Amino acid sequence: MGFKILSLDIKGFTDICARLQDQVETSGFEPDLVVGIPRAGIWISDNAFHSYKKSHLTLIRPERNTFKRKFKWIASRLPLWALDRLRKLEARMLVKDFNHMDDVQIILPKLDDSVGKVLVVDDALDSGATLKAVMDKFAEQYPNVDSRSAVLTITGRKTTYRPDYYLLDDSTLIRTPWSIDSKRRS
């Protein structure tokens, strides 16, 4: 699978989020609530969906290790070409991990009767496992709510779930300025 990497600065991230919002609005779907999947989905909801009521859900994952903390130090010393290779390697593993939600607890926000439409946003759909688990939970807990999903990019070819809205479907990996492997971090 040939991944591409799109490195974004703050303006580029804001612009791509606005394009996603425009796609949702152009479709005629007007959510009563926009829910961000931690962490990147929350950044997207905050950057794009300004005029909507926002919330986020909670994903409780078992503590695995401190690799990401250690990787921040290593990443700050690696050249960009090496970081690109590592990001692509990680993506190859993620697109094949259909069961990584088995030990994750999903806590949805409490919805009142005024919420009839919900948009769930995230940055990327790799295997589809996270978004599928979240959307299944919404359907189970709130069967009368029209829940739809939106992502910036679909990175996997074979996914367990297809979002309602997406901008890129060509194995593009998005690197934001706050990504661990970003050279733009301060």
Q: Which band of pLDDT confidence, cut at 50, 70 and 90, is reported for residue 183?
A: low
* pLDDT value of residue 149: 97
Q: In this structure, are residues 110 and 141 in contact, taking their beta carbons and an 8 Å threshold?
A: no
Please name the fold of domain 4-175. Answer: Rossmann fold (3.40.50)
The runs of H, that is alpha helices, within 95-142 are 129-141
Q: Which band of pLDDT confidence, cut at 50, 70 and 90, is reported for residue 167?
A: very high
The runs of H, that is alpha helices, within 95-152 are 129-141
Where in the chain are the domains?
4-175
Q: How far apart are CA 61 and CA 92, in angstroms?
A: 21
Decide: residue 46, CB within 10 A, 0-12 exposed, 13-18 middle, 19+ buried. middle
User: What digits encode the pLDDT tens for the residues 7-23?
Assistant: 999 999 999 999 999 99
Q: For tokens 């005629």, name the residue.
A: 28
Verdict on whether the full-model pTM lies above 0.85: no
Q: In this structure, are residues 168 and 154 in contact, taking their beta carbons and an 8 Å threshold?
A: yes
Mean pLDDT is lowest, of 33-42, 56-65, 110-119, 171-180, for 56-65
Once rounded to an integer, what is the mean pLDDT over residues 71-77? 70
Q: Quote the percentage of the chain above a pLDDT of 70.
A: 83
Q: Which band of pLDDT confidence, cut at 50, 70 and 90, is reported for residue 68?
A: low
Q: How far apart are CA 184 and CA 186, in angstroms?
A: 6
The answer to whether residue 97 scores a pLDDT higher than 90 is no
Q: In this structure, are residues 56 and 37 in contact, taking their beta carbons and an 8 Å threshold?
A: yes
